[in-house]
Each structure stands twice: as C-alpha cells, then as structure tokens.
C-alpha cells in the first residue's frame, strides 16, 4: 500500500501505519517538553524511558529510543549527570544521531560496548533501577528453574509409572500363558460350571481342561484370544459392566493397561451372532496396541487367522472386515458396529454386512451368511474424536 510512511520508515498495513503515527505524535510531545541540548534533561528522559514511563509500538519509537540512548551516553562520557544544566549560549554542539554514533565510536567503539559498562558508571537513581531489574530477573529465573524441575520430575514419574505397569503386565501375562493348560496347578479346580438363566433353565457346562486353573483363579475369565506371530495372547474377561476391566488386570489389580474383555451383553452359551472384545490401544503395544497394523492388507493376509476360545469350547476365525469408525451420539441414525450383537433375520444380517463392507479398508474376499458366527475386536483410534479401529472375523471352526 503506497504512502504509508512515517519518519522515513515504510509500513505495509494500515494498522502499523496508524501505530507509527501515534508513536511520532508521542515523540513530538516529548521533544516539545525536553530540551535535547540540555544534558540533565536528556539523561532524565533516558532514565524515564528505561523505567517504562514511555512506551512505543513501532520501529519509529525504537529509533527515537536509540537516539536518546546514544545522546545520554555521550553526555555522561563528558561528565554530565541528570542535574547538569548548561548556561544559555553554552549548549553542546551536536550533529544529531550520526554525530552521537561517531562520538560513541570514539569513546568505546559501539553501543554494544556501552551496554557493558559497570554499575558504577551510572548515577545513583539509575543504579537503583538497574538493581531492581536484576533482582526481578533473578526471581523469574529461579521460579522458571523450579518450575522446570517440577515438570521434569513429574514427567519422569509418569514415564516410570507407565513402564512399571507395562513391565508388570507383560510379566503377569507371560505367567498366565504358562498356566494355560498346566494341570499341575489344577488340583481342586472345578471341571463344570452351572449357569442359572431362569427358574426353569439351568445350564451345566464343562470348562476346558486347559482353562480350569485360570478359571479357578478368577471366575471372570470367559476365554482366551490369540493371534499367531503377534503380541496378542491374552485372557478375555467378562463382568456385568464394561468399565471394571478398563483399568484392572486378570489379578484384579489396578492396571492402566486394563484387560481384554467381552461386551457385557454377549453370551457365549446362547451364542450371539457377534461377540465383541474390547481392549486398550496402548503405546507400548500391549493389549490391542498393535491391532491397527491390520490397516495394511499385507499384514492382514499374513495374520488372517484369529483364535478365540471360550472357556467351554475352542474357536478359529478368519478376518473379514477391517475399518475405522467412532462412537456416535444416541440420536445419530447411522450403523453403530458396537450395537450389532444379534441379527434377528437374514435381511438384517445382510444389511449389517453391507454396512461393514462399505467401511472396510480393503476386500479380504471373506463373506458371511445369516447363521454364521462373528467375532469383533475393537480398540481406540486417534484419527478422530472417539475414533475406533475394528477388525471383524467369521468363525470357520
């Protein structure tokens, strides 16, 4: 924009130009009140400017600040202080800003050198101002140092807690894997479980031999999930809610990693169309931390088989769909995979399959028909708010 110039300085925006005009008006007022050829008035003005009495918004003000600084230093080197006043007719001759710079160069080489003057080179009032500022800066420095120390300590503590739980979880689940199928510790473990559904229906089921010890240790055990050549080799829990095992492990200890757990509304006896297993997406890779590797079609091809045993029967599944979704509001009319547990008809089942096929990141070639049993693995996904990463498989044996 043409014509936006103040005191030889050009400005690109109207706002900067207006600010420069305000600075220039302030400078004109100061010059009308201060005799720039009187050492005492100039040094007093410089002191006032250093203490923040005058504040500028643009480079025009900065230029004036530089001018006053250099002039005040010139007067001080000549032995004047804030109380000095020259008689009329004996005022110092000066050649403006350039002359001040020249004089500054003769006295010490540059403004930078002047800035390194000792405290004793200033008058008493200026010394007080400088000391006050130094004390203020030291307080700020100590505060920031203390704050950084607290933040660093908290960060190390968080990392320590995180890796403590990660290491404890890994060790714990390795021990549990060793217990699976270990009949040496199965003494006294129940071989049958009676499930009381209604007054008219009691179902007695036999717990698979390899899970009897584990079930005896924690009756919330409902099965075991394993995907070969991955870290997913965990017990699956189930309770009357979907919250407890978000932050508790198999041993019922508090654990940020939580546990894999089956949706509370799923029934492995009166089998649902779809069983949904949830797990945290941990940065360490624990639980379902690596489930999103299924976003790669090659990875899926190499890990297409999922084994999920309930404590009552074994099961093998083949990956069918891989997609991203999210948790929706109740009033949103959209396919919500986490509500798909049962299909009451072939039409409803086919509709749900079409919804998931449309979401799927690629075509696995695997399809399902009404009557097939499905398994869904679900974890968090940070690609969007309340995002979820989902793998759906069909039972093949």
**Token pair 């990141």 in the structure block, residue:** 361
Is 234 in the same domain as 374? yes
Query: Which DSSP letter does residue 183 get?
Result: G
Looking at 96, 117, 138, the residue that finishes a domain is: 117
Would you say residue 169 lies in a domain? no
Would you say residue 318 lies in a domain? yes
| pLDDT tens readout for residues 231-256 | 999 999 999 999 999 999 999 999 98
Is 249 in the same domain as 387? yes
Please check whether residue 358 is in contact with residue 320, taking contact to mean a CB–CB distance below 8 angstroms. Answer: no
pLDDT the model gives residue 151: 79
* 12 vs 305 pLDDT, higher one: 305
CA pair distance 167, 158, nearest whole angstrom: 14
Is 360 in the same domain as 229? yes
Is 240 in the same domain as 377? yes
The answer, as to whether pTM is greater than 0.85, is: no
Would you say residue 202 lies in a domain? no
Looking at 98, 117, 136, the residue that finishes a domain is: 117
Would you say residue 256 lies in a domain? yes
pLDDT the model gives residue 316: 98
CATH of the domain at 251: 2.40.260.10
Is 232 in the same domain as 112? no
Range of the domain at 14: 5-117
Looking at 82, 117, 152, the residue that finishes a domain is: 117
Q: Which of 271, 304, 308 is nearest to 391 (CA)?
A: 304
Would you say residue 302 lies in a domain? yes
Q: How many domains does the chain have?
A: 2
Would you say residue 153 lies in a domain? no
Q: Is the pLDDT of residue 18 over 80?
A: yes
Would you say residue 193 lies in a domain? no
Q: Work out the pLDDT band at 90, boundaries 50, 70, 90.
A: low
DSSP of 234-296: EEEE--SSSSGGGSB-TTS-B-TT--EEE-TT--TTTT-SEEEEE--B-TTSTBTTTGGGGGS
Would you say residue 141 lies in a domain? no
| pLDDT tens readout for residues 158-170 | 666 555 555 556 6
């Amino acid at each position: 924009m043409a014509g936006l110039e103040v005191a030889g300085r050009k400005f690109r925006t109207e706002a900067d130009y207006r600010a420069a005009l305000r600075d220039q008006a302030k400078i004109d007022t100061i010059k009308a009140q201060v005799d720039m050829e009187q050492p005492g008035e100039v040094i007093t003005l410089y002191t006032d400017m250093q203490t923040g009495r005058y504040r500028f918004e643009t480079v025009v003000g900065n230029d004036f600040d530089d001018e006053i600084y250099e002039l005040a230093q010139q007067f001080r080197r000549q032995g004047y202080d804030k109380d000095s006043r020259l008689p009329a007719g004996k005022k110092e001759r000066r050649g403006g800003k350039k002359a001040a710079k020249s004089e500054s160069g003769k006295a010490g080489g540059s403004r930078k050198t002047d800035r390194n003057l000792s405290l004793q080179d200033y008058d008493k009032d200026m010394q007080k101002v400088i000391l006050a500022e130094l004390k203020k800066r030291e307080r700020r420095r100590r505060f920031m140092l203390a704050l950084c120390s607290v933040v660093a300590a908290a960060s190390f503590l968080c990392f320590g807690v995180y890796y403590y739980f990660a290491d404890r979880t890994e060790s714990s689940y390795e021990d549990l894997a060793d217990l699976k199928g270990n009949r040496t510790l199965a003494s006294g473990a129940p071989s049958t479980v009676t499930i009381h559904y209604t007054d008219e229906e009691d179902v007695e089921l036999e717990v698979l031999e390899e899970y009897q010890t584990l079930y005896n240790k924690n009756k919330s055990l409902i099965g075991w999930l394993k995907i070969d050549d991955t870290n997913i080799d965990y017990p699956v829990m189930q309770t009357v809610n979907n919250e407890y095992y978000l932050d508790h492990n198999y041993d019922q200890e508090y654990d940020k990693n939580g546990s894999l757990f089956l949706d509370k509304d799923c029934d492995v006896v009166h089998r649902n169309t779809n069983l949904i297993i949830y797990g945290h997406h941990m940065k360490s890779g624990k639980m379902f931390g690596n489930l999103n590797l299924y976003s790669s079609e090659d990875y899926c091809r190499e890990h297409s088989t999922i084994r999920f045993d309930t404590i009552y029967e074994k099961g093998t599944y083949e990956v069918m769909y891989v997609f991203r979704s999210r948790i929706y509001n109740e009033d949103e009319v959209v396919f919500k995979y986490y509500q798909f547990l049962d299909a009451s008809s072939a039409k409803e089942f086919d509709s749900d399959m079409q919804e998931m096929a449309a979401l799927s990141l690629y075509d696995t070639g695997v399809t399902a028909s009404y009557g097939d049993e499905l398994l869904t693995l679900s974890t968090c996904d940070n690609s969007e708010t309340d995002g979820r990463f989902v793998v759906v498989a069909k039972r093949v044996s």
